[in-house]
Amino acid sequence: MINVIQGDITTLPVDAIVNAANQVMLGGGGVDGAIHRAAGKELFNACLKVPEVRPGVRCPTGEARITPGFKLPAEFVVHTVGPVYRDGQHGEPEKLANCYRNSLALAAESGCKSVAFPCISTGVYGYPIEDAAKIAVREVREFLSRAETPRRGDAAMEVVFCCFSSGDKAIYEQLLKD
């Protein structure tokens, strides 16, 4: 099931919220900053423990890492790193799609039944919201259609798109009507 809301992702009592992080994965501005502020210092310490895959990179673009949520209502934070948008001709769509795929897979592996996404890459990283939302809805639908054949009655996952602005929410709602 997919829902769209407008609000602050740090307040959502879901199993996992997804953080639009950067590759260093030690906090930043935007939703990353909000999540770290709400989760508290322990989140920073947990991120510090995530091994660097190369100097200064804990989470390469398109990949995902999971930590506890600490003071957040959410049990987990799935950190993912979206592409910095240039012109859409440098692999940005595929990298953004990977953010959704890998975040959902990681949340599912951790037993999460509800996951909330911000509009990854559409702030500081400059991804046009319409293009990014199309990718987000397509990837979540694809994942849920595969997961929707629950074995032994285990419920499929609920995904929430948590938009910060009403404009973004309207774009997602239109896409979900189609």
Told to judge if 32 belongs to the known catalytic residues of this protein, a careful annotator would answer yes
The only residue of 43, 69, 77, 82 in contact with ligand APR, by rule CB under 6 A: 82
Yes or no: say if 117 and 96 are a contact pair by the CB < 8 Å rule. no
- 67 is a contact residue toward ligand APR (CB under 6 A): no
- 128 is a contact residue toward ligand APR (CB under 6 A): no
Going by the DSSP 8-state scheme, the letter that residue 69 receives in this structure is: -
- 31 is a contact residue toward ligand APR (CB under 6 A): yes
Yes or no: say if 151 and 106 are a contact pair by the CB < 8 Å rule. no
- 61 is a contact residue toward ligand APR (CB under 6 A): no
Measure the N-to-C terminal CA separation of the chain; round to a whole number of Å. 15
- 119 is a contact residue toward ligand APR (CB under 6 A): yes
Among candidate residues 89, 114, 104, 107, the one with its CA nearest the CA of residue 137 = 104
| Residues of the shown chain interacting with ligand APR in the complex, contacts defined by CB under 6 A | 8-10, 20-22, 28-34, 82, 118-125, 162, 164, 168
